[in-house]
Structure 1
Amino acid sequence: MITLSAAIGRYPQTAALLDGVVRDGEVALDCTPFPVISRAFAPMVREGRFDVSEMAIATWLQAWAHGKPLVLLPRVLAARMQEGSLFCRTDSPIRGPGDLLGKRVGVRAYSQTTGLWLRGILQDAHGVAPESVRWITFEDAHVAECRDPDFATRAPAGSDMVQMLKEGALDAIISGNDAPSGDWLRPVFPDPAAASAEFLRRHGFTPINHLLVMRAEHAHHAAAVLRLMDAAGAAPSSGRVVMMPAIAFAAYHAVRQGLILRAPTPQEIWAGLPPDIT
């Protein structure tokens, strides 16, 4: 048996794996605790620190674009609708996403996956092109080689995004899982649930946030890793065929937004994965 190092977040479908309840005769996963799993993404793409890792779809696309030796596994670890993650002040003149033209919008990193999805939604459904917004960022991309486009500006060091919105230095912000709260702010989408339902009706999938990757040198153990994942719990919207529409949407908009130069082909997306894994 081989033991592979891993960085995987705790979800209902991964708890049994992290707690050592499920086992496989070929592979064991030694999971490093990460209370905030996104903090594992940069060490994975910059140093290859883990053999198996959860990874944001935007990070994976940039890692692929820069030739990182990673193999994408056909499993989704986190997926959610995105419209409820865009906020403005309650007293803002912004009445909907179309009003963001020319506005200052804060996002943790320009490459943050929620930002990728929301910029795609803004462009497709509301006519708000990425370059028509003044993006204010607070962190670098996980992939060290990546640079933000010219229409993204770094906030002063030590700035707090939520406080900047509160003080009026930003017109709107994109949150991740740590959504702010308070009666001083509201969603930019007047009815986020209805907007999410419309996205699902139009596209037929829930946006993918986090995927599963492994170092290419261990790809021959991919089937065993997936057996462990599947034994722990059902992964949402997983499998090559099911995942492709979401990956294609994300890749198209990653190009449009200046995150990558071109979208990977289906063959490039699954390169290195044993062909019998679907």
Structure 2
Amino acid sequence: MSLSAQPLRLKTALKTYPHTRMLKSGELTDPAVELIFEDVEPIHRAFAPMARRQVYDVSEMAIVTYLQAKAYGKPLVLLPTVVAARFQQGCIIHNAQRGKLDVGSLACKKVGVRAYSQTTGMWVRAILAQTYGVPLEQIEWVTIEGAHLEEYREPPFAHRAEAGKQLLPMLRAGEIDAAILGNDLPDEPGLEPLIDNAAAADREWYAQHRYVPINHVVVVTKELADTQPQAVHAVYDLLCRGKAAVAAENAGKPDKLLFGYDALRGPLEETLAYCEQQQLLPRKLSVDEIFADSLDILGDAAR
């Protein structure tokens, strides 16, 4: 691209994090692209339009939404970037005012989650099953929304609550026994984590798995990847520079921003296995199939 050429304007949906702030403020730029940011709050409202209709050129997306989109043949390309990750064991709560509940007594209980396909729900279920031996299919999963992918159908042990119902009022009223929440976890007396010492339990999980559970990644449209590969390379480079800008403040902490094929391979393999076990995918996916979409564009730059 010549220096006189105009940058390619890309419609973009990214939440403001420390590592994306400089991209959104214009402090970090690339001559090949201009990111035109859409104001989407909360960011998960961007996921269904992107998965279904590719309304953005570049978008943040929950990892389960992306994997379902890939399995259903949607024209999206994953960039090997994690922009949001968190430890999950504090995300399942119960109403302690209605009596003590623990992981050993979840069978035959009702657990609410925004959608069965919600990424936080997937991670909590994976941890319940793998770490604590909870029989997931013996729990009644109560949802208030459908999946971001219209084609997806929930398994028979999940059902939708009545229209208009919300998780916290249902939990307070005893209509559900526990609820899985993410960024909307309440600070309310009586609503307590189901897993005792969740932070310590998360540290043990990390010691075994060596990564922080992935919440959100970044995708681009296949059209952009096919027609403007240099723009895709520029977007990835900007994201890398955003991560580098906050490296000092994150030093010594578990890396929540996994970048590159090598760093993502193991975590994605486990994520795929959990999704398959929970009946979230209509077909088997491999990490190699996922990476193949961007490997020719990014190559050694994303190792």
Q: TM-score, normalised by structure 2?
A: 0.88
Question: What does 1:114-133 correspond to in 2, within 5 Å?
Answer: 114-133=120-139
**1:92 Cα deviation from its structure 2 partner:** 4.3
**1:61 Cα deviation from its structure 2 partner:** 0.8
Amino acid in the other structure paired with 1:228: L
Q: Is 1:103 matched up with 2:106? A: no
Amino acid in the other structure paired with 1:33: D
Name stretches of at least 5 consecutive residues in structure 2 with no aligned partner: 1-6, 245-255
**1:276 Cα deviation from its structure 2 partner:** 3.3
**1:95 Cα deviation from its structure 2 partner:** 4.1
**1:263 Cα deviation from its structure 2 partner:** 3.7
Cα displacement string for residues 251-271 of structure 1 (whole angstroms, at most 9, x for unaligned residues): 111111111034421221112
Match of residue 276 from structure 1? 300
Question: What does 1:199-214 correspond to in 2, within 5 Å?
Answer: 199-214=205-220
More helix by share: 2
Q: Is 1:156 matched up with 2:168? A: no
d(CA) in 2 for partners of 1:166, 1:141: 25
- Paired residues of 1:94 and 1:100 also in contact (CA < 8 A): no
d(CA) in 2 for partners of 1:50, 1:111: 22
d(CA) in 2 for partners of 1:200, 1:93: 30
Larger-gyration structure (1/2): 2
d(CA) in 2 for partners of 1:57, 1:94: 33
Secondary structure of residue in 2 paired with 1:68 = coil
Q: Is 1:15 matched up with 2:21? A: yes
**1:127 Cα deviation from its structure 2 partner:** 1.3
d(CA) in 1 for partners of 2:150, 2:49: 10
d(CA) in 1 for partners of 2:104, 2:120: 18
Between the two proteins, what is the percent identity of the paired residues? 41
Name stretches of at least 5 consecutive residues in structure 1 with no aligned partner: none
d(CA) in 2 for partners of 1:119, 1:246: 16
Match of residue 232 from structure 1? 242
Q: Is 1:260 matched up with 2:278? A: no
d(CA) in 2 for partners of 1:222, 1:267: 19
Amino acid in the other structure paired with 2:233: A
Match of residue 2 from structure 1? 8
Q: Is 1:65 matched up with 2:71? A: yes
- Paired residues of 1:7 and 1:53 also in contact (CA < 8 A): yes
Moved over 6 A (4+): none
**1:130 Cα deviation from its structure 2 partner:** 2.2
d(CA) in 2 for partners of 1:262, 1:48: 21
**1:215 Cα deviation from its structure 2 partner:** 0.4
Q: Which moved more, 1:262-271 or 1:82-91?
A: 262-271
Cα displacement string for residues 107-164 of structure 1 (whole angstroms, at most 9, x for unaligned residues): 0000000000011111111111321110000001001111111110100000111010
- Paired residues of 1:106 and 1:137 also in contact (CA < 8 A): yes
Match of residue 243 from structure 1? 264
d(CA) in 1 for partners of 2:282, 2:136: 15
Tell me the number of residue pairs that the alignment of Structure 1 and Structure 2 aligns: 278
**1:250 Cα deviation from its structure 2 partner:** 1.5
d(CA) in 2 for partners of 1:50, 1:214: 8
Amino acid in the other structure paired with 2:300: D
**1:223 Cα deviation from its structure 2 partner:** 1.2
d(CA) in 2 for partners of 1:160, 1:129: 25
d(CA) in 1 for partners of 2:265, 2:37: 28
d(CA) in 1 for partners of 2:263, 2:221: 23
d(CA) in 2 for partners of 1:236, 1:92: 39
d(CA) in 2 for partners of 1:65, 1:244: 18
Cα displacement string for residues 193-235 of structure 1 (whole angstroms, at most 9, x for unaligned residues): 1110111011111000000000012121221101222233337
Cα displacement string for residues 42-80 of structure 1 (whole angstroms, at most 9, x for unaligned residues): 000111100110000010110011001111101111000
Match of 1:178 among 173, 180, 184: 184
Match of residue 4 from structure 2? none
Secondary structure of residue in 1 paired with 2:90 = helix
d(CA) in 2 for partners of 1:263, 1:277: 28
Question: What does 1:45-84 correspond to in 2, within 5 Å?
Answer: 45-84=51-90
